[in-house]
A and B are shown apart, each in its own frame.
Chain A
Amino acid sequence: MSEEPIISIRGVTKKFGSFTALKDISIDIRPGEIFALLGPSGCGKSTLLRIIAGLETATEGDILIAGQDMTDIPANKRPVNMVFQSYAVFPHMTVADNVAYGLKLEKRPKAEIEAKVSEALAQVHLSDFSHRMPDQLSGGQRQRVALARALVKRPRVLLLDEPLSALDAKLRDAMRLELVKLQETVGVSFVMVTHDQSEALAMADRVAVLNDGILRQLDTPAALYKTPCDRFVADFIGSINMFSVTGQAADGADAILSVRELHDIRLPTSRLPAVGGPLTIAVRPERVRVGDSPPDKDCCISAEGKLGDVAFQGNSSIVEIILEGGASIVALATESEADILMQAETGSPICAWWNSEDMLLLPDSAIPGND
């Protein structure tokens, strides 16, 4: 952490009229990392990216790039470049002209421009396409042009707005890897905006989760998955079973939580989150075991119900356990567990349980004073 951040977002707020798109966001982006801004659509992540690029002005707060305040520096003078969601490859210029556009503006010598353009096109495997017009390219190729066009400027940071959303599913997976490799080659930081959590988890070194213009959590993908800070993040990242806590009582050093769908849960008070407000207990499906009864009733939390659908997924199966009252628990059953379940009839009694340590206790919001 001793390294100086390449981009420093300090207390940025953006208002559109009476609507607050971003609320007091502070993030530091380190040199050489892939950083993802993740959130559902309308959470303000694209606006933040556009503020970094200088296409939008923050209502409050500052952006520092490489230690320099960007407030009065227009988009065309900032050392960052962007790959747009629609790619915005100029339709009236050839591929080579598109890539050369930014270099020509720097008034570089012609030979240097040509060399850099062909190098950049080689990097994105488009050397044979330099004289094509954009409408003769596929979506994936157009994206490579946009990448080459931005990277050829040697930006301090490359900004990518939903880089994979316009591609079809198969191409998307291939492009994920390729983008990560490209980042390793060129070494500049990538800041990408995405609404797809699996994309963010797979590609990014660190992820900032945004919702309603508020930064909910900033962490590595693994930490986000294992220790989400609140109900929203847990729900947004991966799949999870969640139950609202309806009542809470103290018994010495333990707390007793009542949940409508489950038995009362006894926990040491120290495990409760620091912030007050409504609580949710949550458990990932792969932590839920299924069978006739739990091996050890004391360290487990268990629930009895009826067997619902079983969806076969190769080496695992998704099992639905329908509890009394209609709520359900989803479990990721191992191959051997699933083999037994396949024999059982839908509706037959079944038990689900999990270790108390595997259970998460989540506030509605980790930020005091919100929600």
Chain B
Amino acid sequence: MESYRKNIRVFLAFFGPTAGWLVLFFFVPLAIIWIYSFGENSSLTTIKTTWTLDNYKRLFEPEIIGLFWRSVWLSVVSTAICIVMAYPIAMVIATASRKAKPWLLLVIILPFWTNLLIRTYALLNILGTRGRLNDLLHWFWNMGHGALELVGLGSLLGEQFEPIVFLGTPGGVMIGLVYVYLPFAVLPIYSSLERLDRNYLEASLDLGASQWHTFRKILLPLSISGINTAAIITFIPLLGSFLIPNLLGRGQVDMIANVIERQFKSANDWPFGSALSLFLLYITFIILAIQSFAAMRKRNQENG
């Protein structure tokens, strides 16, 4: 690497445009909503910056606190489900034969490259009260009902199949969130398992540990960094997700992004929308800061 001074013209030719673009189209817009977050609507279309804190105070209204709480727990639970589902997937891919590995990876990554809107829309088809999932459940119900009737317990499953309502419920939104963000969780866990020396597992077995004990005491602790990365990389976009709660929640399971969108698109309360956006941004930063701090501490420990 060379000092920028040694070749300042080349440096500026490369640095200038990128830094300029980033400042103009990324940081200036963020600065504007930061300023707007201290403003108030003086008329329907104009905003006056009065450096009021009212927009931030509104974040503590019970309604908004409830919104945050719902967003956070939906994201936490969905992240946890993603990781629990991703771990076995990653185990299979990491130990697959060299020929099968890229194909198995592709199976997981391909949906991730498919348009998010289309995937969410596809779920609408599945999750409706008369959707495919309820069709499937109905079929199971019929089978179960028939079997139970044979042994004289026909009433156990009720008189009639009751379709489960997914759309507009937290459960439905959660299915959507897991569906969309599962591939995010697989890749970091996969790469940490891939890097893991198989001798550690064999040594554990050789010393008398069972498969399960080896999984708990060796495999899991040694892949914890992959799990952490997976959790962060899944949780951050989950918390800010807009489309899934919008389409699958039908306005009844709003997350932060849905309320932000409403401030800009229908309620026309830009200052409050800005404050909400920045709040979401700060949460993201705090999570990232905690993670890099933990990573730094771990590195220091290893070096010291």
Residues of chain A at the chain B interface (Cβ within 8 Å): 53-55, 74-77, 80-82, 84-88, 90-92, 101-102, 105-106, 133, 135, 146, 149-150, 153
Q: Is B154 an interface residue, CB under 8 A from the partner?
A: no
Contact sample, A vs B, 30 pairs, CB 8 Å cutoff: A55-B205, A74-B205, A75-B202, A75-B205, A76-B205, A76-B207, A76-B209, A77-B208, A80-B206, A81-B207, A82-B203, A84-B199, A84-B202, A88-B199, A88-B202, A88-B203, A90-B200, A90-B204, A90-B222, A91-B222, A92-B222, A101-B207, A101-B217, A102-B207, A102-B209, A105-B208, A105-B213, A106-B208, A150-B206, A153-B208
A55, B206: Cβ atoms under 8 Å? yes
Q: How many A-B Cβ pairs are below 8 Å? A: 66
Q: Which residues of A contact B200 (CB under 8 A)?
A: 88, 90-91
Q: Which residues of B contact A102 (CB under 8 A)?
A: 207-209
A84 to B207, CA, bound (A): 12
B186-205 toward A: CB 8 Å interface, digit per residue (1/0)?
00000000000101101111
Q: Which residues of A contact B206 (CB under 8 A)?
A: 53-55, 75-76, 80-82, 150
A85 to B203, CA, bound (A): 11
The minimal Cβ–Cβ distance linking A262 to chain B, given in whole angstroms, is: 50
A2 to B213, CA, bound (A): 41
Give the size range of B's interface with the partner. 10 to 19
Q: Given A55-B205, A74-B205, A105-B209, output 5 extra A-B contacts at Cβ < 8 Å.
A: A75-B206, A85-B199, A88-B203, A102-B209, A146-B203
B203, A76: Cβ atoms under 8 Å? no
Q: Which residues of B contact A133 (CB under 8 A)?
A: 302
The minimal Cβ–Cβ distance linking A113 to chain B, given in whole angstroms, is: 13
The minimal Cβ–Cβ distance linking B1 to chain A, given in whole angstroms, is: 28
Q: Which residues of B contact A105 (CB under 8 A)?
A: 207-209, 213
Q: Is B218 an interface residue, CB under 8 A from the partner?
A: yes
The minimal Cβ–Cβ distance linking B301 to chain A, given in whole angstroms, is: 8
B202, A135: Cβ atoms under 8 Å? no
Q: Which residues of A contact B142 (CB under 8 A)?
A: none
A153, B222: Cβ atoms under 8 Å? no
The minimal Cβ–Cβ distance linking A355 to chain B, given in whole angstroms, is: 50
Q: Which residues of A contact B199 (CB under 8 A)?
A: 84-88
The minimal Cβ–Cβ distance linking B17 to chain A, given in whole angstroms, is: 43
A239 to B34, CA, bound (A): 79
A87 to B207, CA, bound (A): 13
B302, A135: Cβ atoms under 8 Å? yes
CB nearest neighbor in A for B207? A102
